[in-house]
Amino acid sequence: GHKGTWGVPKTWQQVQEVSKFLKGKKDPTFGGDAVGYLDPCKGWGGFGFYFLASRATAYAKHPNDPAWLFDADTMKPRVNNPAWVRAIQDVIDVLPSQPANQLNADPGTTAFQQFLAGTGSMLSWWGDVGSMAKTSDGSVVGDVVGFDILPGSDDVYNSKKGRWDTLPGGPNYAPNMAYIGWGVYVMARVDSNSKKRKAAWSAAAHLGGKDISLWASAYPSGFQPYRNSHFNIDEWVNAGYDKAFITSYLESESNSYNHPNAAIEPRIPGIFQYYSVAEDELSKIYAGKYDAQTGANNIAAAWEKLTDQIGRKKQVALYRASLGL
C-alpha cells in the first residue's frame, strides 16, 4: 500500500510506516526479526524523556517560536498539546512492532543490547552509538550503519495559533539539543585557592585541547565532537575510519548543532525533576493504564506543581534566557 519509492525515512510519518511494515518479516542482514525504529519505554533516571522529546521536536518546535516545552511567558507546559500527544501516540502505535518486552527496554538497552547487536534498523541516540559502532567489540553494524539529523514532520503544531501548519518549504526539522552539557568543568570551590584554581584550569585546558579532546570524541568516552577541529574528516580517515562512515556521522552532528530550528533544552533548575516525573507517567501510558492525552495531562499537571514549588517567576526568567529571549 506504500505510495512512491521506498527509501530511508526522512519524516516521522515515514518512520512509522516502515516500522509497521517490517513487523513479521526477517532481517536479511542479521537473520533475526526485522524491526524498525527502537523506542526506549523504560525510564532512565530522567534521561529517558529525551527520547520521547526526539520524537516530539519535529511536531512541537515551530520555526517561528523558540519555545517548545513550555510557554515562554508563563511556563505553562506544552507536553499535553497535540504535538506531544501525537509523539506519545506514535510510540504506542508501534509497540506491537517492537522487540518482545520492549516495555522494559531503557535507552541503554536499545542502543547497546539491541541496535549495536543487530536488532532494529533505526534509533535516535547521542553520538556514543556512532563511535561505538566502529570501536565496540559487541557491535555488528559498523559497516552497514548511517547517520542523519532527526526525522522531520509533514506538519508542525503552532502553539500560538492552536493549529497544525504545513510549511511551504517542506517537512519541519527540529534536531533535539539534548543534554549538551557533558564536559570538563572547573567548579567555584577552587576560587579561594589560587594554586588549586590554576591546577584545575590547567587540567581542563589539557583535556579540552585539540588532540586529547579529538581522541575522547573518537572513542567511547561520552564526549561528542564539539570543536571545529573535530570535524576535520581527513583526521578521522587518517586514524582509520572509513570516509563515507565518518562523513555521515560528523555531518549528522554538525547539521544538528547548526540547524536554524534546533530545539534548545531549557537551562532551568529542576529540569530532571520535570523529566523524571514525566518518565513515571510515560511508563503508565505505555503499559496501557492511560491513553496518550490523559497521561500527557497528568505530566502537565505535575509540571505545573513543580514550577510553583521552585518559583514560577524565577523559572520564567531563566527559561526565557535559555531560549535567548
Domain boundaries along the sequence of the chain: 12-178+264-322, 183-223
* Host H or E run for residue 158: strand 156-158
Evaluate whether 142 touches 134 at the Cβ level (below 8 Å).
yes
The cell for 118 is 543487530
pLDDT digits (tens, 9 = 90+) for 114-169: 999 999 999 999 999 998 998 899 999 999 999 999 999 999 999 999 999 999 99
Name 122's bridge partners: 37
φ/ψ of residue 172, rounded to 5: -90, 130
* Host H or E run for residue 202: helix 194-207
pLDDT digits (tens, 9 = 90+) for 42-98: 999 999 999 999 999 999 999 999 999 999 999 999 999 999 999 999 999 999 999
Whole-prediction pTM: 0.95
The DSSP secondary-structure symbol of 325 reads -
Per-residue confidence (pLDDT) for residue 1, from 0 to 100: 55
- Return d(Cα 240, Cα 198) in angstroms, integer: 36
Q: Which fold has domain 12-178+264-322?
A: D-Maltodextrin-Binding Protein; domain 2 (3.40.190)
Name 157's bridge partners: 164
The cell for 36 is 524498525
Work out whether strand 163-165 and strand 156-158 pair parallel, antiparallel, or are unpaired.
Answer: antiparallel
Evaluate whether 150 touches 57 at the Cβ level (below 8 Å).
yes
**Confidence check: pLDDT of 183 > 90:** no
Q: Could you tell me the sign of the dihedral formed by the alpha carbons of 238, 257, 119, 135, in that order? A: positive
The cell for 35 is 524491526
